[in-house]
C-alpha cells in the first residue's frame, strides 16, 4: 500500500468536517480560517514506542491516548479544540492495527468536533507526533505564570491511577481484576479536561495539565510565577481503585510523582472562590500559593512529608 493509499483509506475521512477548514488533508498544506478576536493555541507531542508506551499497547487505546495528551494541553489553557495534524511512522503496514488505531483516534475527534487537517506517514520505528490547534478569546488564556500568593491550589479528578496502572502492566502490582481494569483504563484512556478548562476561564489564575507528576508540574507554575507553595499531601484526591491497590503512603507517592493522569492543576484567588463553587466540575483543594519560593510538602497536621524519589518523569533521565 502506498503512502497516498494509506492516507485515502485510513485518514482522509476519519474526522468531522468543519466550516473553518477551507482545504484539509490531501494537498501540500491545509487552508484554515481563524475566527476574529481569538488567539490560536498550538501544542505538539511525540509518543515513541518503548519510551512513552509499550510496543504491544492495544492500537485503539494508543490512537485515543495519542490525541488525548495533546487535547489535555489545550484544556490546560482553556482552549477550544479545532484542528489536528498527525505524523505517524510505521515499521510495517498492518491494516488491522491501523483500523483500530484510527478508530481510537476518531473517538476523540468526534467528541470534540476536531478535524484532521493533514500530517505525514513514513516508514521506520513506531512513533506518533500530533499537533493540535485550538481557540481562546483574547485575554482569557490560562497560563503557568499567573499564580499569586494567597491563591488556593486545586486539582480535578483523582491522581495516581495511571501510575498504578503502569505498575500493574509491569507486574509490579497485583490486585483484583475489577480494580486493575479501572487503573489500566486511566493509563490508556485519560479524559482531556476540556470542559473544565472552559469553565475556569476568568476564574483561575494559573493552570497546567498533570503529565509528568503533580510535584514536578506544579513546580513549573511556581517557577514561572516566581512564588512558592505548601501542598497538603493528605488532601490529594485518591480513587477507590488506588486505595485498594496500595497503602496510603504509596498512593500519595504515586499521586505526587507518577504522572500520566492528565488532570488539571490550577490556582484560584479568594475573590473568585465563590464562582468556582458554582461550577459543575469535580475538584479538590490541595494547598496554597505563598510568597516564599519552593514547594513544601506536609500533612494537614503540620508534619513535613518527604518524597521517597525524584518528583516526576524525566524525559532525558
Residue 9, pLDDT above cutoff 60: yes
Nearest in space to 206 (alpha carbons), one of 130, 264, 267, 252: 267
User: Do 65 and 98 form a contact (C-beta atoms < 8 A)?
Assistant: no
Percentage with pLDDT > 70 across the chain:
96
- The residue that leads in pLDDT, 311 or 205, is 205
Predicted confidence (pLDDT) at residue 96 exceeds the cutoff of 80: yes
Tens digit of each residue's pLDDT (9 = 90 or more) over 173-197: 888 888 999 999 999 999 999 999 9
What is the predicted pLDDT for the residue at 26?
79
Superfamily of structural domain 3-137: PurM-like, N-terminal domain (3.30.1330.10)
Q: Is the pLDDT of residue 12 over 80?
A: no
Condensed to tens digits (0 to 9), the pLDDT of residues 107-142 reads: 999 999 999 999 888 999 999 999 999 999 999 999
So what's the pLDDT on residue 317?
A: 55
Task: Identify the pLDDT of residue 142.
Answer: 97
Query: Is the confidence at residue 161, as pLDDT, over 80?
Result: yes
Examine the pLDDT at 24 and tell me if it is beyond 80: yes
Q: So where are the chain's domains? A: 3-137, 152-298
Average pLDDT, whole number, for the chain?
93
What are the CA-CA distances from residue 178 to residues 123, 167, 244 (Å)?
38, 15, 11
Distance CA 157, CA 152 (A): 16
| CATH T-level fold of 152-298 | Phosphoribosyl-aminoimidazole Synthetase; Chain A, domain 2 (3.90.650)
Q: What is the pTM of this model?
A: 0.92
pLDDT score at 6: 73
Q: What is the CB neighbour count within 10 angstroms for residue 148?
A: 13
Q: Is the confidence at residue 11, as pLDDT, over 80?
A: no
Percent of the chain with pLDDT over 90: 83
Amino acid at each position: 500500500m502506498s503512502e497516498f493509499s494509506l492516507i485515502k483509506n485510513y485518514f482522509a475521512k476519519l474526522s468531522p468536517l468543519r466550516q473553518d477548514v477551507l482545504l484539509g488533508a490531501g494537498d501540500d498544506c491545509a487552508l484554515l480560517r481563524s475566527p476574529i478576536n481569538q488567539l490560536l493555541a498550538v501544542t505538539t507531542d511525540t509518543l515513541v514506542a518503548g519510551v512513552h508506551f509499550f510496543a504491544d499497547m492495544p492500537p485503539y487505546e494508543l490512537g485515543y491516548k495519542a490525541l488525548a495528551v495533546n487535547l489535555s494541553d489545550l484544556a490546560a489553557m482553556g482552549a477550544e479544540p479545532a484542528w489536528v495534524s498527525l505524523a505517524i511512522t510505521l515499521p510495517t503496514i498492518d491494516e488491522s492495527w491501523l483500523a483500530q488505531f484510527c478508530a481510537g483516534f476518531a473517538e476523540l475527534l468526534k467528541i470534540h468536533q476536531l478535524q484532521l487537517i493533514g500530517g505525514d506517514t513514513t516508514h521506520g520505528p513506531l512513533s506518533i507526533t500530533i499537533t493540535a490547534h485550538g481557540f481562546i478569546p483574547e485575554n482569557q488564556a490560562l497560563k503557568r505564570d499567573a499564580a499569586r500568593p494567597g491563591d488556593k491550589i486545586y486539582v480535578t479528578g483523582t491522581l495516581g491511577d495511571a501510575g498504578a496502572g503502569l505498575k500493574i502492566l509491569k507486574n509490579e502490582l497485583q490486585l483484583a481484576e475489577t480494580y486493575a481494569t479501572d487503573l489500566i483504563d486511566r493509563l490508556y484512556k485519560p479524559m482531556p479536561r476540556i470542559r473544565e478548562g472552559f469553565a475556569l476561564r476568568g476564574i483561575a489564575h494559573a493552570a497546567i495539565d498533570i503529565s509528568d507528576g503533580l510535584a514536578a508540574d506544579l513546580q513549573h507554575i511556581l517557577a514561572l510565577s516566581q512564588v512558592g507553595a505548601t501542598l497538603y499531601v493528605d488532601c490529594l484526591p485518591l480513587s477507590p481503585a488506588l486505595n485498594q491497590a496500595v497503602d496510603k503512603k504509596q498512593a500519595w507517592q504515586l499521586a505526587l510523582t507518577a504522572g500520566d493522569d492528565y488532570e488539571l492543576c490550577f490556582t484560584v484567588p479568594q475573590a473568585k472562590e465563590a464562582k468556582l463553587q458554582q461550577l459543575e466540575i469535580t475538584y479538590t483543594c490541595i494547598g496554597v500559593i505563598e510568597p516564599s519560593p519552593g514547594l513544601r510538602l506536609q500533612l494537614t497536621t503540620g508534619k513535613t512529608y518527604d518524597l521517597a524519589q525524584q518528583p516526576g518523569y524525566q524525559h532525558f533521565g
